[in-house]
Structure 1
Amino acid sequence: MTKKSADGKKAQSGQKAGERGARGANRGAGALAESGSRSAAPSDGKPAAGQPTGRANADAAHLNATNNALVDHAYLTEDEFGTVAETLQRNLATTISLYLKFKKYHWDIRGRFFRDLHLAYDEFIAMIFPAIDEQAERLVALGGSPIAAPADIERYSTVTVPTETVRDARTQVSDLVADLTRVGRGYRDDSQTVDDANDPATADLYNGYAATVDKIRWMLQAMMDDERMN
Structure 2
Amino acid sequence: MTKKSKSAPAKATATPSSSGAGTRTSDGKSPAGKAGGNAKADAAHLNTTNNALVDHAYLSEAEFGTVAETLQRNLATTISLYLKFKKYHWDIRGRFFRDLHLAYDEFIEEIFPGIDEQAERLVALGGSPIAAPADIARYSVVQVPTETVRDARVQVSDLVADLTRVGKGFRDDSQTVDDANDPATADMYNGYAQTVDKIRWMLQAMMDDERMN
TM-score, structure 2 as length reference = 0.82
How much does 1:53 deviate?
A: 5.0
Identity %: 80
- 8 Å CA contact 2:17–2:36 kept in 1: the answer is no
- The equivalent of 1:144 in structure 2 is 127
The structure that is helix-richer by fraction is 1
Whole-Å separation in 2 of the counterparts to 1:86 and 1:75: 17
Whole-Å separation in 1 of the counterparts to 2:166 and 2:36: 31
- The equivalent of 2:71 in structure 1 is 88
TM-score, structure 1 as length reference = 0.77
- The equivalent of 2:86 in structure 1 is 103
Whole-Å separation in 2 of the counterparts to 1:60 and 1:120: 37
Deviations along 1:93-146, one digit per CA (max 9) or x if unpaired, are 000000000000000000000000000000000000000000000000001110
Whole-Å separation in 2 of the counterparts to 1:127 and 1:173: 17
> What's the RMSD between the two structures over aligned residues?
2.6
Residue from 28, 37, 55 that aligns with 1:72: 55
- 8 Å CA contact 1:61–1:143 kept in 2: the answer is no
Matched, 1:60 2:44: yes
How much does 1:23 deviate?
A: 2.6
- The equivalent of 1:22 in structure 2 is 16
Unaligned 5+ segments in structure 2 are 1-12
Query: How many pairs are equivalent?
Result: 192
Residue from 101, 107, 112 that aligns with 1:118: 101
Unaligned 5+ segments in structure 1 are 1-17, 28-32
Whole-Å separation in 1 of the counterparts to 2:15 and 2:36: 14
How much does 1:64 deviate?
A: 4.1
Q: Which amino acid aligns with 2:117?
A: E
Matched, 1:170 2:158: no
Deviations along 1:17-68, one digit per CA (max 9) or x if unpaired, are x8x81138x69xxxxx9xxxx64x3xxx7x6xxxx955473753785439x7
- The equivalent of 2:8 in structure 1 is none
- 8 Å CA contact 2:76–2:136 kept in 1: the answer is yes
